[in-house]
Amino acid sequence: MRLVPLLTAILVTVFLFFLVAEREALLSFAKGSDATREAEVQPALSAENDEATRQRVGVIAMRSTAQEIDSAIILRGQTEAARDVDVRSETSGLVVSEPLRKGTFVQAGEILCQLDAGTRRSSLAEAEARLAETRSRIPQTEAQIPRAEAQLEQAKAQLEEAQINDNAARKLSKGGFASDSRVASAAAAIRGAEAAVKSAEAALKTAQSGMLAVDAAIESAQANVAASLKELSRLEIKAPFKGLLESDTAELGALIQPGGACATVIQLDPIKLVGFVPEAQVNRVKVGAKAGGRLTTGQVLSGTVSFLGRSADPLTRTFRVEIEVPNPDLSIRDGQTAEILIGAEGRTAHLVPQSALTLNDSGLLGVRLVDEKSNAVFQEVTLLRDDIKGVWLTGLPEDVDIIIIGQEYVVDGVPVAADYQDIAQ
C-alpha cells in the first residue's frame, strides 16, 4: 500500500470536516489573518503620509470672498482761494485815501486806493475844448459843398451853351452865313467852359475832403477826451471782485508808480480743494463727480470736482484736480491741509492684512494664494486703498485662499500645509 495517497486522503477528510462541521471557526481564523495583514500594512501607509506631510511648508491662510465697496479715491491736498489777486496801479500818483486794513471785507468795485488827479482834469478840459472847436467847423465846411456843387452845375450849363453856339457857328460857316472869326470864338468859348467845369469839380472835391478832414479831427478829439477820462478812472483803484483784503492798502501819501501794488484781495467763497491724482487713477476721476474732504481741524467738507488737469506734473507724474466747496461763512481758510475723497464707480475687492502683500522676482506687487492642489501660487493685485483693518485689493478671483503668514518662505508650486485663520483674529 502506498503512503502518499493515504496521507492525501487523510488531509482531504480533515479539510472537509472543518469546512462542514467547524465552518465558523475556519472563517474566524481567516478573518484574523486578514486583520493581521492590515495591521502590518497600516503603519507603513501612515509612515508614508507622515513623510509627505513633513515635506509641506506650514503657512497661515485666510479664506476671502470679494466684497462690493465704494472705491473712493483718497488724496492729500490743501485748500486754495478761488481767486487771489494783487491789485496794482495802471498810472502814477500820490495816494490821497485812508488805507483799509487787512481782513476787511470788500465788495466788487469798491475803491481801495484813490490817487491824486494832478493836471489830469485840465488835460480833460483841454481835450473837450478841442473837440467842441472841431465840431464848430462842421457847418462852415458843410456849406462849402453845396456852393461847390452849384458852381459845378453852372459851369456845366455854360459848357452846354458854348457847345450849342459852336455847332450853330459851324453850320452857318458852311453856308457862308458866318465868318471864320465867329467859328473860332465859339470854339474858344467851349474850351473856357470845359476849364470852368474842371475848376468847379476840383472845388467840390476840395469841399468834400475838407469835410473828411473835419470828421477825422473830431474822431481825434474824441479819442483824446476818452484817453483823458480813462486816465482819470485809473486814479480809483477798485476791488475786482467781492472778497477779503489779505494785506493793507497803500498808505496815505505814498507814491504809486505804474505796476505798484495797492492791495491783495482773495475770494474764499467758494473755496477750492486742490490735490494731485496719480496717473494710474486719473481715468477714474470725472468732472462733476461728488467729492469731499476733511481738514486737520476735523471739519468735513463736500463739493464737486470742477477741474481735472490734462497735463501731468513733470516731476511727480500726477494730475491737478480741483474741488469746488461752498464757504458762505468764510470759515475755511486758504492753505489748510485736507484729506480729499473723490467718489468713483464701486467695484469688488478683498480686504487683507497689509502684511500679506509681497513682491515677486519681477518686482510686481501681489499676494500668494493656496490653489486647489494645496500649492502656493503668486497673484498680482492692484491696491485700491487702505484703512485701519487692512488693504483693499482687486485682481483676485471671487473666492480665494490667501496666505497671510509665511508667504515670504514659499514660491510658486511649493506644497503648503495651510492653517486657516479669520482676518479678525
The grid coordinates of residue 99 equal 488805507
pLDDT band at residue 12 under the 50/70/90 scheme = low
In this predicted structure, what is the pLDDT of residue 425? 40
Domain final residue pick, 216, 233, 250? 233
In this predicted structure, what is the pLDDT of residue 29? 54
> Same domain, yes or no, for 129 and 224?
yes
> Same domain, yes or no, for 362 and 291?
no
> Same domain, yes or no, for 131 and 212?
yes
Beta 57-65 vs 416-420: how paired, if at all? parallel
Range of the domain at 282: 264-342
What is the pLDDT of the chain when averaged over all its residues? 84
In this predicted structure, what is the pLDDT of residue 324? 95
> Same domain, yes or no, for 282 and 227?
no
> Same domain, yes or no, for 296 and 356?
no
> Same domain, yes or no, for 63 and 38?
no
373 inside domain: yes
- CATH number of the structural domain spanning residue 354: 2.40.420.20
Neighbours of 114 (CB within 10 A): 19
Q: HSE, CB side, 13 Å, CA atoms: give it for residue 417.
A: 10
Of residues 381 and 205, the one with the higher pLDDT is 381
The grid coordinates of residue 3 equal 503512503
In this predicted structure, what is the pLDDT of residue 3? 65
* pLDDT average, residue stretch 45-63: 67
In this predicted structure, what is the pLDDT of residue 45? 45
Domain final residue pick, 342, 358, 385? 342
> Same domain, yes or no, for 332 and 354?
no
- CATH number of the structural domain spanning residue 209: 1.10.287.620
pLDDT in tens, 67-122: 887 667 889 999 999 999 999 999 999 999 999 999 999 999 999 999 999 899 99
To the nearest 10°, the Cα dihedral for 400, 403, 408, 412?
Answer: -40
Of residues 136 and 165, the one with the higher pLDDT is 136
pLDDT in tens, 308-340: 999 999 999 999 999 999 999 989 999 999 999
In this predicted structure, what is the pLDDT of residue 95? 95
214 inside domain: yes
CA 180-186-192 angle, 5° bins: 140
> Same domain, yes or no, for 205 and 158?
yes
Residue appearing with cell numbers 479831427: 217
In this predicted structure, what is the pLDDT of residue 44? 45
- CATH number of the structural domain spanning residue 273: 2.40.30.170
pLDDT band at residue 25 under the 50/70/90 scheme = low
Sign of CA dihedral 55, 60, 65, 69: negative
Confidence check: pLDDT of 27 > 50: yes
Residue appearing with cell numbers 471782485: 241
Length of the chain: 425
> Same domain, yes or no, for 387 and 326?
no
33 inside domain: yes
DSSP structure class, residue 240: S
211 inside domain: yes
Confidence check: pLDDT of 32 > 60: no
In this predicted structure, what is the pLDDT of residue 24? 61
Sign of CA dihedral 304, 309, 314, 318: positive
> Same domain, yes or no, for 316 and 377?
no
Per the structure, the count of domains in the chain is 4
**Which candidate, 326, 325, 241, 349, places its Cα nearest to that of 275?**
325
* pLDDT average, residue stretch 165-181: 73
255 inside domain: no
CA-CA distances (angstroms) from residue 280 to 72, 312, 364, 405?
Answer: 14, 12, 15, 29
> Same domain, yes or no, for 128 and 217?
yes
* pLDDT average, residue stretch 123-144: 87
Domain final residue pick, 210, 233, 256? 233
pLDDT band at residue 35 under the 50/70/90 scheme = very low
99 inside domain: no
> Same domain, yes or no, for 124 and 211?
yes
Of residues 145 and 231, the one with the higher pLDDT is 231
In this predicted structure, what is the pLDDT of residue 171? 73
pLDDT in tens, 352-388: 999 899 999 888 999 999 999 999 999 999 887 777 8
* pLDDT average, residue stretch 240-264: 94
112 inside domain: no
Sequence-distant (6+) residues with CB within 8 A of 69 are 346, 347, 348, 349, 384, 392
291 inside domain: yes
Confidence check: pLDDT of 173 > 80: no
pLDDT band at residue 41 under the 50/70/90 scheme = very low
